[in-house]
Each structure stands twice: as C-alpha cells, then as structure tokens.
Structure 1
C-alpha cells in the first residue's frame, strides 16, 4: 500500500512540475484535494513547511512519516542538484509502478491458493465437528467393527471436537511467539530470508524479484550520474530483504578494496543463493566491455520477464492442483462415511 500511495503522489507531482507549476505550489495542489478541511493535518504539511524554511526537497522527504526509501530520496537529491528533478521523478514513478506490479503479481499468485486452502480447511473442520458425529450415531447401531478409514475419521472428529478451541489458542500463541521473535531479532529475519530463497518454486520467484529490483535500482542511479559505489550503498539501504542488503554491503566493501564488480558479487554471494553463474558472467561481460549500465538494464528486464512468465505458469498449475487436493479431501471423506454402508451386509 505504501508503494501504491507513493506512486500516485509521484505521478501527480511529475504532471504538475512538467506543466510548469513550481514545487511548493504543486505540493499544495496535491495536498488540498486529499482532505475535506484545509486546517486538518496532513503528511505533506511538514514537507511544505520545510521547503518554506529553505530545506531541500530530498531532506524533507527523508524526515517524512511516509518512509521514502534511500533510492527515492537519493534520486530526488540528484535531481535537485542537476536540475533534472522532473526527469528523475518520472523514473521514480516508473520504477514504483513496476514494483507495485511485481508485488501485485506475487500477492495474486500466493493469495488465491491460500484463500482456497483456508476455506477448505474451515469447511473440513466444520464437517468434523458438526457433520461426522451424526454418522457416528448411525454406525453405532451396526454392532460390528468399522473399516480402518472410517474408524480413523470418527476418531479424528472426536479429537477435533474436543480439542478444537485449545488447538486454536495454541496455534495463535505459537504464531504470535514466532512473529515476535522475527520482529524483535534481526538474525532470525536474516535466516528466514535465506530460508525462503532455498524453498523450491517460491525461492525462484523471490530470486527473480530481488535481482530485478537490485539491477533496476543500480541502473537508474548509474544512468542518472550517481557513482557506482554510491549506487551500491543506496541499493543496500533501500533493500527490504536482508540477504540483498548484506550482499550489497559486502560488494561495496570489496569494491573499495579495488575488486571488480563481478568478483565482488561472487565473493559476497559465494554460495550463489541470489547471483547465479549466468548473472556473474553477464556482469563480467558488461564490466569488461564498458557497458555495465546497459547490462544492468538487461538483467532488470530479463528477471522481470522471467518473474512474470513463472507467475503465469504457477497460476495455471495451482488451479488444477487445488482441484485435486479438494477432490481427494472431499472424496476421502465420502468414501470413509459410505464405505460401511456399502459393506452393510458384511458388517451385519
């Protein structure tokens, strides 16, 4: 939601600046339609006040409660000093639009199956608590042993009915404890980020998304005239993934010692969790030929395209997989419930 809000704000600001409206009046025009009363506080007020006091736009953005990242503020700062603020804000808007699109695709790919599985799980629990016990009363009059599958389903129903609320409380407590550990301790966050990079399918999607973002950030900064070292440092500061942050910091350190870019990346990610051999080769070719900026642009486009294609394939695979899972779950319960009826003569 933060990216979407910043993207809308940036697009509005670029439109007004390109129309010839000065910065402060443009911000005031953006602020006014967003509140019914002009005297109500708004997040743009401190920025407008700071500009009136002679502060730079980039420094005001860094202090804003909207959490503009280092990439956004860095490009704005470059635009202020170079006189290309409109041009760089347009690049920021395009980058935010891409980031929002990628996040939207990831959420769409993950939200749909999770929602279906959650609904299926709720229906399963409801059947175990309210539907299965009625069949148990019918089977009690058979005066014979039930098939193993039916017996297991009845025992599961009794267990869920007796310990359901306790299980929910334990699940909430465990989830809250894990979330607290993750939120409180950075080493755990780093381990979680590394773990998801190793998970099949999901890790591959994360890999393409992270590399696309990393390459796009450095490409835009380099194209705008930012030195490579500063671009690497900004990419580390604006990353929301600990592994990318740590790798970028290590690459920055190695570059200051005179290492080449591809060598620094290889040493920083020696296990190739993020930067695979093909990526390292492309970085080397770009660096040796003097076309590192164009190679970064190519890497960004390539990984964005790979991410989109794999998300499309994943969505096509998820639907039949969910149908199979739900079919097995429902079919298994139906077979378990009606198997004793099919063998009624044998049981009697």
Structure 2
C-alpha cells in the first residue's frame, strides 16, 4: 500500500508568469510545474524574480490536436530507434516530447516522463492512458522490462503499429470509394430534384395532357424533396447515428452486422483478408516477444476488429488451451483459408510459428493492398456510370412528355 502511494505523482500543469530577470528587464511567459510554489522556485533557479504566477486557463475547445493512433505509431518508432542507439529511456521520452508538434502528445509524453523518473515502471505508466496504449501494448512493454530487451520490444511494437496503421488506411480507402459514389449521386440527384425539375414542372402545367408515369413519379419525388428535404436529411443523419450507437453498444447487432459486411461482394473479400492479416500480425508479434500462445491468442482476438473473427479466435484459444493444435482449431472455425491453416501447421511442426505467421501477415497485407488498388481502378468508371444513370434518368423523365408531343404532331 505504501509503495502504491509512493507513485501518486502530481501531473504537470501550465502556469503563466511575470517577473524581472537578472538584468532588471521585465519578462513574462509560460512554464510547467505541479504547483505555484514549485514554479516560483524554478523561475528563481533561472534567475527570474517572479512578480506574479497563476495557472493558465484551459481552453474551452480543448488543448491542441487530438492524439491519433498514427501519432502513437510514430512515438513507438522514435523510442525504438533511440533505445536501440543507447539513449536512456527517460531522455528518449523527453527528446520525443520536446520535438512533438502536437501539443496534446507533448503533454502526454511529459506526464509519462515525470512518472518514469519517479521510479514507476514504464508499462504501469502507460496503463494509466488506456485510450492511447492498449493491453497488448502495455503487456509487451512489461515483458521487455522483465527480459531487459525493451529496445527489441519497442522495435517489434513499432513494426506492428506501422503495419496496423497501414492496413487501417487501406481499409478506409476501400470503404471510401463506395461511400463517395453514393454521396455524390445523392447530392447531384437532390440538386436536380429541388432546383431543376420544378422548372420543368411549370412548363408541363401548361400542356393540358396526361404525363407519362415515369415523369409523374419523378415530379412526385421532386415535390416531396422541396417540402421535406430537411426531414429526409435529418432522417439520414439520425439513422446513421442510431446505427453507429447500436453497433458500439449492442454485441448481437455488432456480430450480425460484421457477419453481413464480410459477405459483401469485393468489399467483403478485402475485409476478410484484412482480418486474417491482423490476426497473423498480432499473433506473430506477441508470440515472438515471449508471450504464451494462450495469452497471444487473447490479444489477437481483441485486435481482430471484427466480431466474427474475434469469436473465431476465442474459440481457437479455448481449443488450444484444451490441448488441440492451433491449425486444427482454425480449421473448425471455417474463417481461415486453407493456405493459412497449412502455413500455421508447418510453423507448429517446425517450431517457427512466429516467423510463419509473419509471412502470412505479409502475404495478406499485400493482397489487401492489391485488392484496394483494383477496387479503386474499378470504381472510378463506376462513379461515372452511376452519375450517368441518375442524371440520364432524370433527363429522360423530363423530356418524355416533349417527345410524346413531338410524335403526336
């Protein structure tokens, strides 16, 4: 208990100050400390006689940019490089903090540095920030501390994070194009229905003849959009947020949705390959770092990013803990390709499971990359085709009555 209290360290806060330096010149600025008394002592050490010190008010809109996963990946690579070069841990963290452009990241690094300097293990310090450092990250750092190979662990973590972010970027790219097609088509259609079609409606009003069914259908949609466009927009936004919230909070819905998504044409194939790559990369990284296979599988399940694969990996974990070989358990899930199962089988037989899984990850990451490039090339003409069908359909609907009048004459 006494040891736990020893590590209750106050976090650094920003203070503004005014004072006079050794030359008698008035100075002001900003400094970090844990209290006003400490800040005054720090200023005196710098040769500044403080006349006023107060806490810097926190911004209503936050304090700098958000820390993104890519920032953590860059931090991991930087600290791996510095530790590999023989730079002490605390000095490495301080150098990264001083060089960080992101103010939020700099503050986070400073907090970590203060606690590590006070004697708290780095893994325990990182656990205090689960938003940025997950269990897998902290467990690997802890194993590096125990084995004295923190530089090697951070190198593995850096590779893992860089690969994970690259894969995530590819998935976002794959999902972006179909969404872009739908959004562009919806915007163009809405503009035509709200602003262009009504002009034709005024012309048709003077015809005194019965309009074609297709034209009446388009005019009906146009009238609805003119009167209730705000309701349609609100409905789309509300539906999006309801689905997003339900997906995040409801396990059954998330499992159902993930199962349907991975069965979609083209996109489903990419997501399946990405899930296999993520599984292999996570398992390879943790197993190579000396984490027992059962724990490594649990980490892989948490990092899967898909409930279907998460359940499959947890099933594999249960089977392996019962003494079943991993490749047999993988086969029972019906989620992994035969090639992956065969390579895992070879890895188990030769005792090189981590390197074999790394090869699987490399293969499937490359396949995801190729599939995304192929999808991009396929969807570029598809965007033009969709827009052509939408705009062409509206033009035909508007000109049908004119064509009919021409044929009568």
DSSP-derived class of the 1:64 partner: coil
Return the offset for 1:44: 2.2
Alignment of 1:1-348 (within 5 A): 2-34=68-100, 42-267=107-332, 269=333, 272=334, 274-346=335-407
Q: Deviations over 1:284-330 (max 9, x none)?
A: 23323433233212211111121111111111111111111111111
Larger Rg: 2
Residue equivalent to 2:20: none
Within 1, Cα distance between the matches of 2:179 and 2:305? Answer: 23
Within 2, Cα distance between the matches of 1:329 and 1:306? Answer: 33
Within 1, Cα distance between the matches of 2:378 and 2:151? Answer: 43
Q: Deviations over 1:136-172 (max 9, x none)?
A: 1111222112233222221221122223222223333
Return the offset for 1:65: 4.8
Is contact 1:145–1:347 with CA below 8 Å preserved after alignment? no
More moved, 143-152 vs 130-139: 143-152
Return the offset for 1:133: 0.8
Is contact 1:70–1:237 with CA below 8 Å preserved after alignment? no
Within 2, Cα distance between the matches of 1:227 and 1:182? Answer: 32
Within 2, Cα distance between the matches of 1:214 and 1:228? Answer: 13
Within 1, Cα distance between the matches of 2:356 and 2:376? Answer: 30
Is contact 1:10–1:92 with CA below 8 Å preserved after alignment? yes
DSSP-derived class of the 2:107 partner: coil
Within 2, Cα distance between the matches of 1:296 and 1:277? Answer: 14
RMSD of aligned alpha carbons: 2.5
Is contact 1:43–1:65 with CA below 8 Å preserved after alignment? no
Pair 1:35–1:295, CA change in 2 (3 A): closer
Is contact 1:70–1:238 with CA below 8 Å preserved after alignment? no
Structure with higher helix content: 1
Return the offset for 1:188: 2.0
Return the offset for 1:21: 1.8
DSSP-derived class of the 2:262 partner: helix
Pair 1:44–1:36, CA change in 2 (3 A): closer
Return the offset for 1:345: 3.4
Return the offset for 1:35: 7.0
More moved, 124-133 vs 184-193: 184-193
Within 2, Cα distance between the matches of 1:328 and 1:35? Answer: 47
More moved, 198-207 vs 338-347: 338-347
More moved, 233-242 vs 75-84: 233-242
Aligned positions, number: 343
Within 2, Cα distance between the matches of 1:8 and 1:295? Answer: 26
Pair 1:36–1:89, CA change in 2 (3 A): closer
DSSP-derived class of the 2:108 partner: coil
Return the offset for 1:279: 2.5
Return the offset for 1:4: 0.5
Within 2, Cα distance between the matches of 1:155 and 1:232? Answer: 56
DSSP-derived class of the 1:145 partner: coil
Return the offset for 1:202: 1.6
Pair 1:314–1:224, CA change in 2 (3 A): same
TM-score (norm 2): 0.77
Is contact 1:69–1:238 with CA below 8 Å preserved after alignment? no
